[in-house]
Structure 1
Amino acid sequence: MTASIQTLGANEVALSVRGLSISLPKGMERAFAVENISFNLKRGEILCIIGESGSGKSVTANTIMGLLPKVIPVSAGAIHLDGTAIVGASPEQLRDLRGRVVSMIFQDPLSALNPLMTVGEQVTEVMAAHNVGTSASRRSRALELLTEVGLPDPELMYHQYPFRLSGGQRQRVMIAMALALEPKILIADEPTTALDVTTQAQILKLIRDIQRRKGMSVMFITHDFGVVAEIADSVVVMEKGHIVEQGSAEQVLKAPRHPYTQRLVAAVPHLSGRDRAHEDAAPAKPVIRVEGLVKTYRSSGVFFGKKRIVTAVNDVSFDLAPGRTLGIVGESGSGKSSLGRLLIKLMDGDGGRILFDGHDIAKLSEGAFRPLRPRIQMIFQDPFASLNPRSTIGQILTVGPVAHGTPYAQAREEARALLSHVGLDAGAFGRYPHEFSGGQRQRIGIARALMFKPKLLIADEAVSALDVSIQAQILKLLDQIQRETGVAMIFITHDLRVASQISDEIAVMQKGRIVERGPPSQIFLDPQSAYTRELVAAIPGERVNTAPATASNS
């Protein structure tokens, strides 16, 4: 493999990485973030680098950009960027290359964009930093870029602040900034991970179209083989700082040679046309019944002369039986998370009923609802943000039950048993959240929710930020827990593949309304709504045959 890399001529290679090793500080789980890795990015090619968290993907990208922190230095190897040596280059040289020769799109555009600067200011700043053009020409170029990346009303967008934009729009702004100086190489670090399927499909198409039109080379970092199938020309697979396999996208996807690559491919969730099987043929009385639920947001101020009124949840009704899972899917802004927050009483609705345990909890005050709160628990999207960094896992798991009257000794024993149940060792009880991986922290979040023996679990994007292999483990764990305890679950997700794996029934939301509801076999194999068909068609790497015969082959 290495020999074939070295035979490429200098004019064919936009980026060359040779024998790169990056040391980690002492006391870490391994000595090197990446060790002795070599690969080429050819001109006009899209190269996908894939691997789980901790594999070294982002460290490699940051090294190429010259953004490595000093605590993890390059200990060996060379990087040549369009013929220029990066390792050992001065800060001035690196600044000159950034934006002009190589640009980067980051995973989280909200944290990467300056909240105090308008979109237009941030795009023109890239040109100003390299002394390109006049103020008027930069503004004209910025508007041209905002149009090119598909943002509506570029003149209006030019004056917007990032918080006013959706996730997909912010990502388009990041792409516009990256393209401002027409670089030869574009590095995209997980740019679609947190996006819904239609926005993800749009961003992938946008990157591919721009790459072909401008002849750019693209290094695309991802942990999703569905994305690889959509966009890659060639693939590099990384595991724990080493390259374990590389080749064409077709070869790696269809005939992976390394066991790690095979495991990653096998872990990718695929649309399931099968409905979940249950031992009990007829479900019991509903745990929760929602009738005509409404939530409207009103802006407190005036926005360009108009007061903004958005109906986030609009006349939503459903019921859910014990031991069953209702998947809530839809794009960003469809009302999924608002619905979840209404059900757990993190905010009050404007109309409708939520019948739980014989009570209409929609009308209950916080004090009246407090005794019922342990029976409805939530698993959050970001377990690190939802776990107290100053408390041990034992304290996190026991503080709630103790506050509701459970003796500490009993709560401690139940917590230890639950940690074992979710696949963590006994030593986890005395450790802190930062000592665990993302997948382990999500297991802790599940254990915390189960400490109250709830009747209803609400999982809000609980696996969207996890690697596919960890995601598969968490989905299997949730399915096992549900079958053992009979807990009802509402599973909110933007990933239809995940929803098809775990849901008994799926509700598709658009602009606050449920536009279609049914079992996976209907939603994915015979969707009735045009919107549902658009969502299914946008799933990366999936080519769904909607003919009825597919169900028998699923």
Structure 2
Amino acid sequence: MASGIQAASPVDVALSVRELTVSLPEGMERAYAVENISFDLKRGQILCIIGESGSGKSVTANAIMGLLPKAIRVSSGEIRLDGMNIVGLSADKLRSLRGRVVSMIFQDPLSALNPLMTVGAQIEEVMAAHDVGTPASRRSRAIDLLIEVGLPDPQLMYHQYPFRLSGGQRQRVMIAMALALEPAILIADEPTTALDVTTQAQILQLIRDIQRRKGMSVMFITHDFGVVAEIADYVVVMEKGHCVEQGGAAQVLKSPSHLYTRRLIAAVPHLTGKDRVALDAADREPILKVESLVKTYRSGSALFRTQRIVPAVNGVTFDLSSGRTLGVVGESGSGKSSLGRLLIKLMESDSGSIRFEGRDLAGLSEAKFRPLRPKIQMIFQDPFASLNPRSTVGQILTVGPVAHGMRYSEADERARELLTHVGLDSGAFDRYPHEFSGGQRQRIGIARALMFKPKLLIADEAVSALDVSIQAQILKLLDQIQRETGVSMIFITHDLRVASQICDEIAVMHRGQIVERGPPSQIFLAPKSGYTRELVAAIPGEQPGSMPQHEGYVENPKQGESL
């Protein structure tokens, strides 16, 4: 048990975890997912569990919910909800507790929501599963919940399907489902990781407001100390299945006692007022010139007056030189990802030009563009959907280069070298995507994009799912690769702190248009647009005095190279 565990009267404790150990199957990197961890969640408290991928945060949450996969089991310890030990309870009894006593907001709302059911039906299903209310009262309750979580036009939203909603809206639906039965405990597993800064700020405020209004206890899982600084009352720090430090949020943030905690805090990116030193290659002719690019989404029927027209990309113009990185930032729905998909021709533009090395890609057929694909690679936002679950990591990395003529032995050697570069061990080559955490899968996606030695790399939220320390390593890796190869990058991100670390220039997008463009020093220290000022103000942990910098701490350069 880690020192510093809070002493609390059993009456004040909503959830108590004591000496919990969860065993992993044989052949894994370690024997236990979590080992002998203990902590208390007090009533009306927000407890943040923080740590890197593989630290055991989500396993702990799933153990409390009774959602551990069959291959993983609780081998010892206790989990007490209102004084009752739930370890070993039958599936039926655990099911009766889920939603009613303890609810969970999952990390990826798109995967957690049923794509074939409307939002309203999914909220009602939670109540129906526990035989609560009548069909009419469930509908009324569902609409009330949609109002409570701040979704626009709740009557219309009730009939929408998840794919029609933005990431922030889907997360609000997940919160509404979790609140349907008024649980005493809410577990939030990385609920803001993939959200833009303004939506993240809204979700954090929403959770805090609901917690205060209802007197709920919240267990908030995160890898971002900026989020901890915004929301936490109490903090538990986990490393490789062990609880290494815990205490009040102010104590852990301002005077951390453990080296690992200090390293996590030191790795949190902060806005920098310094502009990146340009490469010599940056003086060359632009490798990419985009002019008046337009993409409009249309849905519904004009005949029945239900047609919806959304200008995703509206007259975007910019250029990019060799060896330079252009950051594209903005909220969900601003057109960032649509722009990235247009540049790599995953969808066709309505008008405008995309000139790559002097050749207009916009009008090329797929057959004519295919030979150029190795030169333009993309790191996708969703590592769950972008990796083939039936192929090993080695096959995923080598199949593309081999198809384009690279010898397998050369592809094999390069794949293993890149896996080491992105912080995965040699054993990852022969494993399948489901055996990795979300952050680890994202690293595999980055390695795959680098296999071709591209001239233009489009990174769509490439580090949004990574822990802050691994994030820092990946940013350093991308910077190193760029300086070695002169590759140009379009770096799409919702995290302005990250953009300030790696980008030579930043374009701020809002409703399909670039509203401001300039170096980081201008965008973050002297923004001209009111929208840009709103984005900067919403960054978690950037308010004066909210979190110490620990500038004197020097990170171990070998940390995180292998798992």
Which range is displaced more, 143-152 or 204-213? Answer: 143-152
Aligned to 1:110: 110
Report how far residue 48 of structure 1 moved: 0.3
The 5-angstrom pairing of residues 215-234 of structure 1 reads 215-234=215-234
Tell me: CA distance 1:100–1:503, structure 2 relative to 1, closer, same or farther (3 Å): same
Aligned to 1:492: 492
Q: Secondary structure at the match of 1:141?
A: helix
Work out the CA distance in 2 between the residues paired with 1:174 and 1:430: 35
CA deviation vs aligned residue, 1:217-254 (integer Å, no higher than 9, x gap): 11111111111010000000011111000001111111
Work out the CA distance in 2 between the residues paired with 1:473 and 1:255: 25
Give ranges in structure 1 of 5+ residues lacking alignment: 546-554
Q: Is the 8 A contact 2:279 2:324 kept in 1?
A: no
Tell me: CA distance 1:537–1:66, structure 2 relative to 1, closer, same or farther (3 Å): same
Tell me: CA distance 1:69–1:449, structure 2 relative to 1, closer, same or farther (3 Å): closer
Q: Is the 8 A contact 2:146 2:154 kept in 1?
A: yes
Aligned to 1:86: 86
Which range is displaced more, 389-398 or 35-44? Answer: 389-398
Work out the CA distance in 1 between the residues paired with 2:455 and 2:463: 21
Aligned to 1:532: 532
The 5-angstrom pairing of residues 5-84 of structure 1 reads 5=5, 7-84=7-84
2:133 counterpart of 1:136 = no
Tell me: CA distance 1:100–1:522, structure 2 relative to 1, closer, same or farther (3 Å): same
- TM-align CA RMSD: 2.6
Q: Is the 8 A contact 1:119 1:162 kept in 2?
A: yes
Aligned to 1:247: 247
Code of the residue aligned with 2:172 in structure 1: it is R
Work out the CA distance in 2 between the residues paired with 1:28 and 1:350: 50
Q: Secondary structure at the match of 1:115?
A: coil
Work out the CA distance in 2 between the residues paired with 1:4 and 1:377: 48
Aligned to 1:374: 374
Code of the residue aligned with 1:374 in structure 2: it is P
Work out the CA distance in 1 between the residues paired with 2:3 and 2:479: 47
CA deviation vs aligned residue, 1:331-366 (integer Å, no higher than 9, x gap): 111111111111112221111111111211111222
Code of the residue aligned with 1:80 in structure 2: it is R
Report how far residue 105 of structure 1 moved: 1.1
Q: Secondary structure at the match of 2:362?
A: helix
Report how far residue 93 of structure 1 moved: 2.7
Aligned to 1:211: 211
Tell me: CA distance 1:282–1:49, structure 2 relative to 1, closer, same or farther (3 Å): closer
Work out the CA distance in 1 between the residues paired with 2:300 and 2:66: 43
Aligned to 1:548: none
Work out the CA distance in 2 between the residues paired with 1:8 and 1:289: 62
The 5-angstrom pairing of residues 329-368 of structure 1 reads 329-368=329-368
Tell me: CA distance 1:254–1:407, structure 2 relative to 1, closer, same or farther (3 Å): same
Which range is displaced more, 145-154 or 69-78? Answer: 69-78
Tell me: CA distance 1:44–1:348, structure 2 relative to 1, closer, same or farther (3 Å): same
Tell me: CA distance 1:435–1:240, structure 2 relative to 1, closer, same or farther (3 Å): same
Work out the CA distance in 1 between the residues paired with 2:52 and 2:244: 13
Code of the residue aligned with 1:153 in structure 2: it is D
Which range is displaced more, 313-322 or 23-32? Answer: 23-32
Code of the residue aligned with 1:372 in structure 2: it is L
Tell me: CA distance 1:159–1:369, structure 2 relative to 1, closer, same or farther (3 Å): closer
Q: Secondary structure at the match of 2:283?
A: coil
Code of the residue aligned with 2:193 in structure 1: it is T
Work out the CA distance in 2 between the residues paired with 1:201 and 1:277: 32
Report how far residue 279 of structure 1 moved: 5.3
Work out the CA distance in 2 between the residues paired with 1:442 and 1:387: 9
Report how far residue 40 of structure 1 moved: 0.6
Aligned to 2:553: none
Work out the CA distance in 2 between the residues paired with 1:140 and 1:423: 49
Aligned to 2:299: 299
Aligned to 1:123: 123
CA deviation vs aligned residue, 1:253-310 (integer Å, no higher than 9, x gap): 1111111111111111111111001354962211111110111112265798411221
Report how far residue 420 of structure 1 moved: 6.0
Q: Is the 8 A contact 1:208 1:231 kept in 2?
A: yes
Report how far residue 329 of structure 1 moved: 0.7
The 5-angstrom pairing of residues 145-184 of structure 1 reads 145-184=145-184
Q: Is the 8 A contact 2:272 2:500 kept in 1?
A: yes
Aligned to 2:95: 95
Q: Secondary structure at the match of 2:14?
A: strand
Report how far residue 2 of structure 1 moved: 6.8
* Structure-2-length-normalised TM-score: 0.90
Report how far residue 31 of structure 1 moved: 1.6
Give ranges in structure 2 of 5+ residues lacking alignment: 546-563
CA deviation vs aligned residue, 1:384-432 (integer Å, no higher than 9, x gap): 6434455555554444444444555655565566566656677766666
Aligned to 1:515: 515
Code of the residue aligned with 1:364 in structure 2: it is L
Q: Is the 8 A contact 1:537 1:544 kept in 2?
A: no
Aligned to 2:453: 453
Q: Is the 8 A contact 1:294 1:316 kept in 2?
A: yes
Work out the CA distance in 2 between the residues paired with 1:412 and 1:42: 52
Work out the CA distance in 1 between the residues paired with 2:450 and 2:481: 9
Work out the CA distance in 2 between the residues paired with 1:147 and 1:247: 35
Report how far residue 433 of structure 1 moved: 5.1
Q: Is the 8 A contact 2:4 2:246 kept in 1?
A: no
Aligned to 1:549: none
Report how far residue 5 of structure 1 moved: 4.7
Q: Is the 8 A contact 1:340 1:460 kept in 2?
A: yes
Aligned to 2:326: 326
Work out the CA distance in 2 between the residues paired with 1:288 and 1:148: 46
Code of the residue aligned with 1:486 in structure 2: it is G
Code of the residue aligned with 2:116 in structure 1: it is L
Work out the CA distance in 2 between the residues paired with 1:3 and 1:430: 39
Work out the CA distance in 2 between the residues paired with 1:67 and 1:403: 41
Code of the residue aligned with 2:146 in structure 1: it is L
Work out the CA distance in 2 between the residues paired with 1:489 and 1:137: 52
Q: Is the 8 A contact 2:118 2:160 kept in 1?
A: yes
Work out the CA distance in 2 between the residues paired with 1:320 and 1:371: 21
